[in-house]
Amino acid sequence: MKKETAPVAQSAKVPQEPLFDLEGLMTDFPTAKELEKFVFDQTGYVLNLKGRSNKFKYQTALNVLNGEKPDDYLVGTENPYLDKNDLIPVDTFRTVLTRPAEVFDVPVVTSYISKTFPHPDKEMYAQGQKCEVVFRKYINNAITYEIIGPITARAVGTRVNKFGKEVPEKYSWVDPREGEQLIRDSNGRYTPRGSVLRAQLQKAKINNKTYWDVWIDREFILGDNKNSSDNPWDVV
């Protein structure tokens, strides 16, 4: 006996309407900010629509929502949900001095980084914080120091935000950098601060030698081209 199969039901075609239209956008999103948020949620594009005519504003949003790519001048970078009044200002970084002329374009023969010196900021110093200092000796016998960090943020003042929470008025940078400075010039003369740094490094010892002699004011030998290979086995 032949088994009858039931007919497969065909789904009825549902007429589709346009995804979005001007009237719907103007009704649901009466302000540019609300419209920008909706476009961002739907497409990921950040549009700059504030201040533009309603006809242009809503037509632009409609075009983007229906798949068109917006012109570059209409595309922004800031998230439309971001309220600048909620942001906490952050100070800019300080300007760091350039390398002294004494060592400009002069080859470095040795360098050493110390993390044992106290932080120059008074508050950080009181907390026992240290800074990072790099010492460099140059081929012309000059020696320099440079504080390279750390750079940290510090909250300044307080205010109450729209949620009733107390937040800082702004953040400033605790930036100990002051650029590279001379300890000793090429003629062997020490700066006032250079003398203090040298004295401190001479107090620390390693194998009966001072840090100054072992790590900073190291002796070096200038070789000729015959011994310039990176491979020691190539030297004859």
Contacts 24+ apart (CB under 8 A), 61-65: 61/25, 61/35, 62/20, 62/21, 62/22, 62/25, 64/39, 65/19, 65/20, 65/25, 65/39
| Token code pair at residue 167 | 């937040």
84: its two tokens? 């600048």
Pull the structure tokens for residue 165.
Answer: 């929470």
3-state DSSP call for residue 123?
A: helix
Indicate if the pLDDT at residue 14 is higher than 70.
Answer: no
- In this structure, what DSSP letter does residue 75 have? B
CB 173 within 8 A of CB 93: yes
Residue 166: CA atoms inside 13 Å, Cβ hemisphere, count? 4
Distance CA 126, CA 123 (A): 5
CA atoms within 13 A of residue 54's CA, in its CB half-sphere: 8
At residue 94 the predicted structure's pLDDT band, cuts being 50, 70 and 90, is confident
Predicted pLDDT of residue 83: 76
Is-contact 103 180, C-beta < 8 A? yes
Rounded mean pLDDT of 70-85?
Answer: 83
Which residues does 188 contact at the CB level (< 8 Å), separation at least 6? Answer: 141
Cβ-Cβ contacts under 8 Å for 122 (sequence gap 6 or more): none
Q: What is the mean pLDDT of the chain?
A: 85
Return the amino acid letter for 55. Answer: K
Rg (C-alpha) for the chain, rounded Å, is 33
Over residues 6-17, mean pLDDT: 50
Confidence at residue 3, expressed as pLDDT on a 0 to 100 scale: 54
pLDDT band, residue 20 (cuts 50/70/90): confident
Give residue limits of the domains in the chain.
22-74, 101-221
